[in-house]
Structure 1
Amino acid sequence: MSNAPVNSGRRRFLTLSTAVVGGVGAAAVAVPFLKSWNPSAKAKAAGAPVEVDISKIEDGQLIRVIWQGKPVWVVRRGEQTLEELNGIGDKLRDPESQEPQQPEYITGAYRSIKPEIFIAVGLCTHLGCSPTYLPDSFGEQVQGVTSGFFCPCHGSKFDMAGRVFQSVPAPLNLVVPPYVYLDDNRVLVGADEGNA
């Protein structure tokens, strides 16, 4: 047993230093562990909403984005296209979109929130091929219809609102995903008004 005096300042310093080093070590282990609970970037991208800038899309132009691993089309429709959509109901299988291929807030012949912007999942409802956009030559497919979507796999045809024509293999209109306008120039695909 030693009779040397106890240096309480040194003891406090060592105790405090040990606590600090232990706390830093615990944080170094905890941070990666807690981060592992979050979904990966790939998982977030697979189901996360996708923001689309529509400010530079011209009439008749289609842009593609990926949402949930699927192609989504965003098309700006001109005045002539909108007028044409109202006059072809007799050629369509489901002109009023009675089948639930779109959110409840998407109604009417245009199947969109704003008539000039059409948003749809770019997969045929027959067997999932991706139809081709024919902005000027769709009249070769359906007489009297200027533009639309033609599926080269089995010949299904859709108008500029994604409504399927009669006598083709596709049984349903194209799917319209949930979406919400963030402002006049941005759309969030994959989110409804309540969860945007």
Structure 2
Amino acid sequence: MSTEEQNNVSVNLQRRKILTGATGVVGAAGATFLAVPFVSSWQPSEKAKAAGAPVNADISQLQLGQMLTVAWRGKPVWVVRRTSDMLGGLAPLDGQLRDPASLESIQPKYCQNPTRAIKDEYLVVVGICTHLGCAPLYRPAIGSPDVGADWQGGFFCPCHGSRFDLAGRVFQSVPAPTNLVIPPHHFLTDYLIRIGEGPAEGGVA
């Protein structure tokens, strides 16, 4: 084989390597583009969330007395893990509340009970005051300085002074007309709550 022929063979081999490498890169890139939308489809899009798609709240790390905030429909939803003392303090407040039995307030039927919950320990509530839409503050401690010495724990709206107990029930003589809203929800597991979907729609209470 002449020197010229050897050079031609060498050039052809190099071209093949370059083409093979380029094809592999394009193939890998194509696989990535295919995989991303597929993986993304496992989670609701931001548009779907805004439209009301259910979201999950992992409460496995939530300690007694703590509150977790989850975004649903562009609103904050609070999950509060109540202690036995918090739950025990609800009934004595009935005489001070505007709607103690939640007859005029918004909640699913399965949460129209004294604790406004599926499981007494966990309150799931929309964190927006029913007066003018401000965000109340979580004040679980008895006698919180910014609320008053007679405060037994709950939620306080700093905008206009509305107060709610630890079941989201509104006190008398404050601007808010109704209790805080309880969204549809259910427990997927002991530590995973689906917010935006009731038991009959996709799970058990």
- Structure-2-length-normalised TM-score: 0.73
Per-residue deviation, 1:137: 4.8
1:59 aligns with one of 49, 56, 64:
64
Number of the residue aligned with 1:89: 94
In the alignment, the residues of structure 2 paired with residue 108 and residue 194 of structure 1 have an alpha-carbon distance, to the nearest angstrom, of: 18
CA deviation after TM superposition for structure 1 residue 194, in Å: 2.1
Q: Distance in 2 between matches of 1:192 and 1:64?
A: 19
Q: In structure 1, what is the Cα distance between the partners aligned to 2:80 and 2:144?
A: 18
Partners of 2:154 and 2:164 within 8 A in 1: yes
Identity fraction in percent: 49
Q: What secondary structure is seen at the aligned counterpart in 2 of 1:129?
A: coil
Quote the offset at 1:139 in angstroms.
Answer: 4.9
Report the counterpart of residue 172 of structure 2 in structure 1.
166
**Does the CA contact (< 8 Å) of 1:138 and 1:149 recur in 2?**
no
1:94-133 paired onto structure 2 within 5 Å = 94-133=99-138
Give the 3 Å change call, closer, same or farther, for CA 116–193 of structure 1 in structure 2. Answer: same
AA partner of residue 114 (structure 1): K
Preserved CA contact (<8 Å) 1:64 1:73: yes
Correspondence 1:43 to 2:30: no
Cα distance, 1:89 vs structure 2: 0.3
The aligned length equals 160
Q: 1:195 aligns with which of 182, 190, 201?
A: 201
> 2 CA distance for matches of 1:108 and 1:180?
15
Unpaired runs of at least 5, structure 1: 1-37
TM-score norm. by structure 1 comes to: 0.76
Structure 2 unaligned regions, length at least 5: 1-40
Is the 8 Å Cα contact of residues 153 and 165 (structure 2) preserved in structure 1?
A: yes
- Counterpart position of 2:182: 176
Partner in structure 2 of residue 80 of structure 1? 85
